[in-house]
Amino acid sequence: MQAEGTAVPAGATAGPGRWRGVRAVGSMVVLPLLGLAVAIGLWWGAKEAFDIPRISLPYPLEVLVEIGDRPRVLWENGRVTLYESVAGFAAGSATGLVLGTAIAHSRILSQMTYPWLVAFNAIPKIALAPLLVIWMGFGTEPKIAMAVLLCFFPVVLATTSGLTSTPTELVELARSLDASRWQTFTKVRFPYALPQIFVGLKLAMPLAVIGAVIGEFSAGQDGLGVIVKQAGGLGNSPLAFAALVALSMMGIGLYYAVVGVERLLLPWVRATTA
């Protein structure tokens, strides 16, 4: 029990909270690096244990050297893939949000379109790549379209699920306050659905990168997918793996950009969920 009149050191009460923050930040940095170290160790160990030829699997150090030798090539082609991925994600997400909202508000539209959306999503998108090239040519358009096709459905599904899961008591409360349908949507249903919508967006972002790479495999002239394809065909597996590492870093960065936007727009989610 503290004696009356005893001065409390400045920051003493904030100490535990501050150290919790330091530990949280440390775990966000240290644990991913530890996981990366374990993955590299397993990669190295598998190559040594099974004597995998270099053309199939290079050493991690060879990939690192390739990244250091060709930073400009990887950067210039990475910008192309980045543009295609972000453009496809933006277009696919916007379209998915609009259609998902329409489906959530119309049972007739839901019954008309939802089964066909599921059927279309089941089509292997790589089978559509040659058709996209025929329709759109060899520019960036077919790559962006492929990214749209891959990231479109998760956003539709998440938006529909979020908007149709609003608790009935919240909707009834809005009606009792004479709120219009638009006010109920903007003040109750859409905010309640946002966490679910962001789940779809976080699923869609990596899929957009995959879609852009599939498009580059089919008819690309530049981009990281083209590097993987050409280097693999020439037997230069270190360069192919270097491009794959660049794609992985791009996917991680874009994913956490969406996470950052979610935390900025929805600060209340972390405080109200377990």
- Domain holding 249: CATH number? 1.10.3720.10
**Domain limits at 128?**
58-272
Integer-rounded Cα Rg, in Å, for the chain is 24
**Amino acid, single-letter form, for residue 142:** P
pLDDT of residue 208: 94
Whether 25 is in a domain gets the answer no
The pTM of this model reads 0.82
pLDDT of residue 16: 60
Whether 127 is in a domain gets the answer yes
Whether 70 is in a domain gets the answer yes
Whether 138 is in a domain gets the answer yes
* DSSP-H helix ranges across 106-187: 107-121, 129-136, 141-163, 168-176, 181-184
pLDDT of residue 8: 47
pLDDT of residue 1: 44
Look at the chain and report how many structural domains it folds into: 1
Burial class for 159, CB neighbours closer than 10 Å (0-12, 13-18, 19+):
buried
* DSSP-H helix ranges across the chain: 15-50, 60-69, 71-105, 107-121, 129-136, 141-163, 168-176, 181-184, 190-219, 224-233, 237-265, 267-272
pLDDT of residue 169: 84
Whether 50 is in a domain gets the answer no
Q: How far apart are CA 100 and CA 110, in angstroms?
A: 9
pLDDT of residue 88: 94
Q: How far apart are CA 163 and CA 208, in angstroms?
A: 24
Inter-residue contact 104 to 164 (CB < 8 Å): yes
Per-residue pLDDT of the chain (274 residues), as tens digits, is 444 445 545 454 455 656 666 666 666 777 778 888 888 888 888 877 888 787 778 888 888 888 888 889 889 999 999 999 999 999 999 999 999 999 988 888 888 888 888 888 888 888 888 888 888 878 888 899 999 999 999 999 999 999 888 888 887 888 888 778 888 888 888 888 899 999 999 999 999 999 999 988 887 788 888 898 888 877 788 898 999 999 999 999 999 999 999 989 888 776 665 5
Whether 6 is in a domain gets the answer no
Whether 17 is in a domain gets the answer no
Burial class for 3, CB neighbours closer than 10 Å (0-12, 13-18, 19+):
exposed
Whether 33 is in a domain gets the answer no
Q: How far apart are CA 193 and CA 158, in angstroms?
A: 9
N- to C-terminal Cα separation, the chain: 34
pLDDT tens figures, 197-243: 999 999 999 999 999 999 888 877 888 888 988 888 777 888 989 99
